[in-house]
Each structure stands twice: as C-alpha cells, then as structure tokens.
Amino acid sequence: MILFQKIVNQKLNTLDTDGLLQLAKQNNLSISRPQAQEIVKIIRGKNINIFNDAERIDLLKRVAAITSPATAQKVNQLLQQFIG
C-alpha cells in the first residue's frame, strides 16, 4: 500500500495543466484551463501527501482561496478517486 501511495503522490506533485485536465475529463469533472493552471501552481513541487487528511484539507483550502469553493469541491472529488 505504501508503494501505491508514493506513486500517486509523485504523480500528483509532478502534474502539469494538461495532465490535470485529462485526469479531470477521465473522471467526468469539468475544470477550465485557467482553473487547472491555478491548481497546478498550488500543487506542483509541494510534495503534498493526499493520503494525509490534514495535508489534503490544507490543499483544498488553498485551492478554494485561489479559485473557488466549487472548484475545490471538484478537486476533492478527483482526489477521492485515488484515496477512496
């Protein structure tokens, strides 16, 4: 399980805008390109562990502050696909 978590976290922390848009599309979530760009700025290189509740909640709060609470909910839905 730890190896799986490391792989998912590494993928998340190196995600680019196009990758995020593709991931959202695969999971039937609509995120605009500008929203994806802002989210990637928050995530990229920050070494966030989405399996840690506190880190994930902090990430979602930052996403909500920069984009919108609705976008943060979409990101949370996307993250839940990996941790749920």
Q: Please state whether 5 falls in left (phi above 0), alpha (psi between -120 and 50) or beta.
A: alpha
Tens of pLDDT, residues 10-50: 988 899 999 999 988 988 888 899 999 999 998 888 899 99
pLDDT above 70 covers a percentage of the chain that reads 99
Provide mean pLDDT across the span 50-67: 93
Q: Which residue has the tokens 């399980």?
A: 1
| Overall pTM > 0.85 | no
